[in-house]
Structure 1
Amino acid sequence: MRNLDFSSWQGLLSTLLGLALITLIGVGIRLLVMQTIQQRRARENRQINERLRTLIAAYKTLGGSFTGNLAVDPRHLRDVKRQAAGEPQAGGDAEPDWPSGERARRMRDAAEAALSDIILLGTEEQVRLAAKAAADLVAGRPVHTAELVVSLRDFIRQVLDLEPVSPTLEIPKQGPARPSSTARGKGDGGGGAKSGGGGEGGGQGGGGGMMMGVSLDQHPDRQP
């Protein structure tokens, strides 16, 4: 206050301009700091959301089944075909069950992708369990994902601020989701429709030829 000069209009004006400049600089610094903090929080929120979205997708892939065989078949399609070709068949014209092998292959591929995402974005415990499951797949051993699914479930609920699952609640073991075979069925149906369309076209062509023959017979004076 001692440095403020109110003795003249020039002194008062310079004092007010100095105060305004100092206030403007302070507000600018505050806005810059707030914007920096806001951008950092937005970046952290995006990272958390992306990580959470990826882990939720992995949880659905590795824990989407409660019944049936809950293990991931490590065999590749060529191994399944080779094994099916080597097994004795009940009838001479019986064919191996290729759709089941294709279904197991899609399940294994989805599980491998989910394990890769968990190794990239999971916690230390989840990375350890996912690495162990990946090692079992490489070694050709069936993989059970129940323990990894429980770890994912607990972590996701904690991040979403949900109540933890009661330890007294008995939840059946979960296994990888089984892919549907609707796409294959649609493809087969489309092929049948195309075959039917070809037959219909042939019938129309034959009918057209018969009509031309009748038309020629109705004009006996027309020379060939």
Structure 2
Amino acid sequence: MRGLDFSSWQTLLSTLLGLAVITLIGVGIRLLVMQTIQQRRERENRQINERLRTLIAAYKTLGGSFTGHLAVDPTHLRDLRIRQAQGGDDEAGTGSDRSRRIRDAVEAALSDIVLLGTDEQVRLAARAATDMVEGRPIRTDELVMSLRDFIRQALDLDPIPPGLAIPPQGPARPGGGGGKASKNEGARDDPRQGGGKTGNAGAGAGGAGAGMGLGAGMALGDEAESRR
């Protein structure tokens, strides 16, 4: 304040103007720095959230089951087709499709863990992927425990008590598709449900009223899907 000159109105105005400009520059620099820091934090938070979301999905895939056969069958779809072409009885119509879908889901989860997991998780996932490629059945319980501990720590949750016994975990059963479609096809082909002449007459009457009930049927279908 000693260097300020208040001897005239001109010098007072110029001094105040200079102070205002310096203040505005300082505030602008501060806002720019704060915005840069905030954007960096938001980016880091998005990366952390995406990493946690991916690892949680991998955990559910690799450790969603406590019962049944917890080992992953490494048989690939092409091998199943080769066995079917050779006439081998490889339960192609029953369990092979389910085991193949489990294998594909586990393979995708291992790929995500190799990309976003910790050093320990990457080593476990790489070892499991190597065993799968070489045709050896793999178990995922050790990798599931590592994922569980890391996710709980990242979410600031209390660690699981050391004395608590948790059964070994294995891959979750993928949801089967086409069950209701097959039932509908069976009902459609069943002669007891509209077969013969009665079925043909009902089909003709239904065709006459199809235009009137199209919009209502679509609305009910959308409502049923939303309730599911």
TM range (shorter): 0.7 to 0.9
1:128-151 deviation line (CA, Å, top 9, x unaligned)? 000000000001000100100000
The aligned counterpart of 1:174 is 169
The aligned counterpart of 2:181 is 187
Which of residues 99, 107, 112 in structure 2 aligns to 1:112?
Answer: 107
2:125 corresponds to 1:126: no
Query: After the TM superposition, which residues 43-192 of structure 1 pair with which residues of structure 2 at under 5 Å, given as runs?
Result: 43-80=43-80, 82=83, 85-87=87-89, 96=91, 98-181=93-176, 183-192=177-186
2:202 corresponds to 1:200: no
Q: TM-score, normalised by structure 1?
A: 0.81
Cα RMSD after superposing both structures: 2.5
Offset of residue 78 of structure 1: 5.0
Point out the structure with max Rg over C-alpha: 1
1:9-56 deviation line (CA, Å, top 9, x unaligned)? 111111110111110000000000000000000000000000000000
2:142 alignment partner AA: E
Identity %: 71
Offset of residue 100 of structure 1: 1.1
Aligned counterparts of 1:16 and 1:139: Cα–Cα separation in 2: 79
Aligned residues, how many?
200
Comparing 76-85 with 29-38, which one deviates more in the overlay? 76-85
Kindly indicate whether the alpha-carbon contact (under 8 Å) linking 1:136 and 1:142 is maintained by their aligned counterparts in 2.
Answer: yes
Aligned counterparts of 1:69 and 1:176: Cα–Cα separation in 2: 9
The aligned counterpart of 2:35 is 35
Kindly indicate whether the alpha-carbon contact (under 8 Å) linking 1:85 and 1:96 is maintained by their aligned counterparts in 2.
Answer: no
Q: Secondary structure at the match of 1:72?
A: coil
Q: TM-score, normalised by structure 2?
A: 0.80
Q: Which runs of 5+ in 2 are unaligned?
A: 203-228
Aligned counterparts of 1:205 and 1:170: Cα–Cα separation in 2: 59
Q: Runs ≥4 in structure 1, deviation > 3 angstroms?
A: 77-81, 83-87, 199-202, 204-208
Aligned counterparts of 1:41 and 1:102: Cα–Cα separation in 2: 45
Kindly indicate whether the alpha-carbon contact (under 8 Å) linking 2:59 and 2:147 is maintained by their aligned counterparts in 1.
Answer: yes
Q: Against the structure 1 CA distance between its residues 103 and 207, is the aligned structure 2 distance closer, same or farther, given a 3 Å change threshold?
A: closer
Q: Which runs of 5+ in 1 are unaligned?
A: 88-94, 209-224
The aligned counterpart of 1:213 is none
2:69 alignment partner AA: N
Kindly indicate whether the alpha-carbon contact (under 8 Å) linking 2:194 and 2:200 is maintained by their aligned counterparts in 1.
Answer: no
Kindly indicate whether the alpha-carbon contact (under 8 Å) linking 2:80 and 2:92 is maintained by their aligned counterparts in 1.
Answer: no
Q: Against the structure 1 CA distance between its residues 109 and 206, is the aligned structure 2 distance closer, same or farther, given a 3 Å change threshold?
A: closer
Offset of residue 69 of structure 1: 0.7
